[in-house]
Amino acid sequence: MYTQLQQRGMEQPPVNISTLRKMKAAKEPIACMTAYDASFALLVDRAGTDLVLVGDSLGMVVQGYDTTVPVTVEDMIYHSKIVARGVARAFLVVDMPFMSYTSPDQALENSVRLMQEGAAMMVKLEGGSGQVKVVEHLTRHDIPVCAHVGLKPQSVHKIGGFKVQGRDDAQGRQMIEDAQALQAAGADLVLAECVPNEIGKAVTDSLDVPVIGIGAGPDVDGQILVLYDALGITQGRVPRFVRNFMSDTGSVDEALASYVQAVKDRSYPAPEHCFS
């Protein structure tokens, strides 16, 4: 009987949920990155990234839409499947796209597809306490879940743009309570997007599960960036929290290694990447 490690012929064991929890406990920053295809997934994984997300941001950076709303379950399965071929060590998380988790049963059906057809190890869904029933249902069926709070890009038309969330006290308090409710429902990971530093820290301090931030300040358990933003491929206006790691390096390999290093030594995010 081969162990998973021997089968993959790797020196380092693959990252799993326990690894991520231990990293939070040891205060070791978790380096995460999105990927959308096998070649980039291989480079991202080889750079030492702990978690790879097949984000529905692919709707914007790969498919050329203005939002993530048009992305379908079929799109996510296709990209997840090809990313999985490039990933060896990192933990593979896949986004559930817009309207693919409107009820517990629909969420279960689609997350099973993402895991069985797309090789996802965890699914990510956007929303606060309104998603508690969905998360409970997935958890009851042993589907690992990452809850996404703060800026929820799938709600862009409802909130009126990609804006920092949680700036007023009531909204900030609600976000912390939502994150706690999602953890209690069974979420194994929480992603916080575009929130002031103090909210990123408060969510992180109030949870046992790891919190990954994107534009959530330095005091979270890990950082994630959209690959195309980190490599300077994205055209036009890029969010404040983005750092272009290609500009000081000579290759994609070096840029990705520099990102992982900057997350691990906490030099990224710097104050200019943060919100107050």
Residues 75-86 as b or e (16 or more Cβ within 10 Å = b): bbbbbbbbbbeb
Binding of residue 75 to ligand KIV (CB under 6 A): no
Q: Quick one: 32 or 138, whose CB is closer to ligand KIV?
A: 32
Phi, psi (degrees; rounded to nearest 5) at 274: -110, 165
User: Considering CB under 6 A, how many residues would be counted as binding ligand KIV?
Assistant: 10
Binding of residue 189 to ligand KIV (CB under 6 A): no
Among 20, 24, 31, 34, binds ligand KIV (CB under 6 A): 34
Token pair belonging to 38: 């096998």
193 is known as an active-site residue: yes
Binding of residue 100 to ligand KIV (CB under 6 A): no
If DSSP states are collapsed to H, E and C, what string results for 14-30? CCCHHHHHHHHHCCCCE
Binding of residue 183 to ligand KIV (CB under 6 A): no
CB of 183 closer than 8 Å to CB of 144: no
267: Cα within 13 Å, side-chain hemisphere: 8
Minimum distance of ligand KIV from residue 57's CB (angstroms): 3
Q: Quick one: 35 or 105, whose CB is closer to ligand KIV?
A: 35
Q: Quick one: 11 or 163, whose CB is closer to ligand KIV?
A: 163
CB of 53 closer than 8 Å to CB of 33: yes
Binding of residue 221 to ligand KIV (CB under 6 A): no
Question: Which residue in the list 11, 74, 136, 193 is annotated as catalytic?
Answer: 193
Residues with catalytic annotation? 193
